[in-house]
């Protein structure tokens, strides 16, 4: 076993073990920062862990027996997606696996036959239609900028990918708000029950099932910010500083947007995301192809 393979295994294992702790802390910091923006003190940064612990202490109650299996599949593919990224595998495979996970979430919400969760599932599919084109253009952009789809090769590049992919980066930041289900794009699932579809895709989830959903979101959150870092990582060790700084700024910006924006309708979300994808991502890819 070569040294490179051992490093990949170690990094992947570190992600699987540490990501839920880091994701939980990010969720706690997010709630704390949101409270400060609203003039409140806010809960402890560890409150997310307390909430999940309480969820797993409750009895398992599901409307449809298949829901827990589907949610388990969703959690598996979310973890698997991050593991592929940190193991340095093909970026297209990473994104296709992420899409597979999203489809399991839609199925988990739909199988309950609740009108609220079904509407949430339908809106989740609209969200997928909104961000998937930009996700694919991002993968293509990394290939044109670095000459490879492999994450292991991208991180070894001589210069940061952001220097060639500014449009793709801004576009990815735009869809990041959709992926994190933050306002103004929280149309399928809201952290607040006082809306027209109650809790959307999580309406019929409770106890351990909802706890599994929360942990999966922690894993996904770490994965998404790792993708932000991929734009700034290079063979230069000092690029790690840029990764930390930009991920921190992206995190703050997402919380700020969530607290200062009203929810859009699904059609405006779709039109705006496709417009950004075409104007920023599409033009960026076209220029890379023309001047390579």
101, 191 contact by CB (below 8 A): no
CA angle 100, 106, 108 (to 5 degrees): 105
pLDDT digits (tens, 9 = 90+) for 36-88: 998 888 889 999 999 999 999 988 877 777 888 999 999 999 999 999 999 98
Domain boundaries in the chain? 3-290
Res 224: pLDDT: 95
The residues with which 150 forms a beta bridge, in sequence order, are 90
Q: What is the mean pLDDT of the chain?
A: 89
Residue 150, classed as helix, strand or coil, is strand
Res 249: pLDDT: 95
pLDDT digits (tens, 9 = 90+) for 100-129: 999 999 998 888 777 888 888 888 899 999
Q: Is 31 exposed, middle or buried (0-12, 13-18, 19+ CB in 10 A)?
A: buried
């Amino acid at each position: 076993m070569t040294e490179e393979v051992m490093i990949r295994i170690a990094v992947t294992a570190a992600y699987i073990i540490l990501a839920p702790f880091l994701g939980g802390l990010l969720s706690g910091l997010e709630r704390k920062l949101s409270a400060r923006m609203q003039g409140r003190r806010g809960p402890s940064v560890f409150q997310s862990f307390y909430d999940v612990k309480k969820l797993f202490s409750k009895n398992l109650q599901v409307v449809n027996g298949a829901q827990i299996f589907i949610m388990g599949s969703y959690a598996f593919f979310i973890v698997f997606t991050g593991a592929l990224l940190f193991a340095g595998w093909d970026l297209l495979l990473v994104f296709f696996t992420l899409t597979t996970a999203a489809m399991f979430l839609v199925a988990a919400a739909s199988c309950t036959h609740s009108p609220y969760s079904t509407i949430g599932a339908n809106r989740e599919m609209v969200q997928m239609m909104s961000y998937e084109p930009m996700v694919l253009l991002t993968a293509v952009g990394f290939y044109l900028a670095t000459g490879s789809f492999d994450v292991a090769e991208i991180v070894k590049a001589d210069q940061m990918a952001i220097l060639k992919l500014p449009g793709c980066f801004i576009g990815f930041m735009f869809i990041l708000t959709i992926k994190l289900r933050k306002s103004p794009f929280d149309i399928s699932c809201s952290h607040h029950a006082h809306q027209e579809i109650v809790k959307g895709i999580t309406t019929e989830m409770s106890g351990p099932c909802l706890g599994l959903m929360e942990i999966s979101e922690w894993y996904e959150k770490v994965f998404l910010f790792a993708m932000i870092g991929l734009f700034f990582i290079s063979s230069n060790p000092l690029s790690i500083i840029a990764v930390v700084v930009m991920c921190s700024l992206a995190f703050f910006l997402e919380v700020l947007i969530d607290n200062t924006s009203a929810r859009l309708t699904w059609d405006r979300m779709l039109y705006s995301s496709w417009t950004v994808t075409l104007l920023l991502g599409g033009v960026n890819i076209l220029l890379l192809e023309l001047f390579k």
